[in-house]
Structure 1
C-alpha cells in the first residue's frame, strides 16, 4: 500500500486497507475478469469500490464497506485502487473517489459517487434483496385434495 503524499512509508496508520471483511482487492485486469466471471456464474451481483489511498472520504468509508461485505455474503464486494490500476479505472470513467458501481451479469445496474454511508447502505440492501429474490426457489401452488367454494 502507498502512504499519503508527504508521509513516511513506514507509518502504518497512514495506510488504508481496501480489503478487509469479504472484500477482494483487484490487482489486475485479469483478476477483475476472473472475479466478475465467478460472480456471473454464481448469480451474484458485484459491488465495486473505486478508491484511492490518498482520499480522505475513501479512508472513512472503507471499514464500513468491509463490514457490509460480511453482512451481505450473497453479493461480491470488490475494491480497485485507482492509482494502482490507472488505465482500468479510466475505462470506467472515474471522476471522483470513492465511486461505487453495482453490476449484474457484468452490466452496470446502479452507481454511487461519494462516501455517503446511508445511501451506500440503501443501495447495497436494495441489490442484496434483488439478488435474493432472483435466487429464491420458484413459487409452486400447494396441491390440495379438495376445492374451496
Structure 2
C-alpha cells in the first residue's frame, strides 16, 4: 500500500513532465536560477498546487511548451511544499507564472490562461531570436 506521501510525489510527476523541473527545496531553486543566469536563459516559474483545478488543467500545456521552447527553463513550485518561497514571491493565487531574467522578475501571469501564456513565451523567444 502506498502512503499519501507517495501519492503526492506521483501527482507532482504529472505536473512536472516534459522539460519541466520540479523544485522541492530553496537550494534547488537557487541553483536553477544561478544556472539560468550563467546560461543567459529565461526562467518561467509556475507556482501551483496539486489541489488546484486550473493548475491541473494547464500542467500538460506547460509541459508541452517546455518541450517546444527548450531555450527557456521551465520550473514548477508546489506552493504547499515550499510555503516560504511562495511567501517570498507573494503568491496570492495559483497558478502564478513568473518570467525571470538574471533571477529578477520581468513579467508575470496569474491564472491558467493558455493563450496569454503562449503569447508571453512567443514574445520572449522573438526578442531572443532578434538579439542573436
Which residue in 1 is equivalent to 2:21? 24
Which one of 78, 82, 93 corresponds to residue 79 of structure 2?
Answer: 82
Task: Indicate how the Cα distance of structure 1 residues 9 and 76 shifts in structure 2: closer, same or farther if over 3 A, else same.
Answer: closer
Q: What does the per-residue CA deviation read over 1:60-109, in whole Å, with 9 as the maximum and x for residues that have no partner? A: 00000000001101100000000000011110000000000000011111
Moved more, 90-99 or 120-129: 120-129
State the SS of the aligned residue for 1:63: helix
**Rounded Cα–Cα distance in structure 1 between residues aligned with 2:25 and 2:76:** 11
Q: Which has the larger radius of gyration?
A: 1
Whether contact under 8 Å (1:47, 1:101) holds in the other structure is: yes
State the SS of the aligned residue for 1:110: strand
Normalising by structure 2, we get a TM-score of 0.89
State the SS of the aligned residue for 1:80: strand
**Rounded Cα–Cα distance in structure 2 between residues aligned with 1:20 and 1:63:** 8
Which one of 7, 12, 15 corresponds to residue 11 of structure 2?
Answer: 15
Structure with greater contact order relative to length (CA < 8 Å, sep ≥ 6): 2
Runs in 1 of length 4+ with deviation above 6 angstroms? 8-12
State the SS of the aligned residue for 1:94: coil
Which residue in 1 is equivalent to 2:47? 50
**Rounded Cα–Cα distance in structure 1 between residues aligned with 2:36 and 2:81:** 23
Which residue in 2 is equivalent to 1:63? 60
Which residue in 1 is equivalent to 2:99? 102
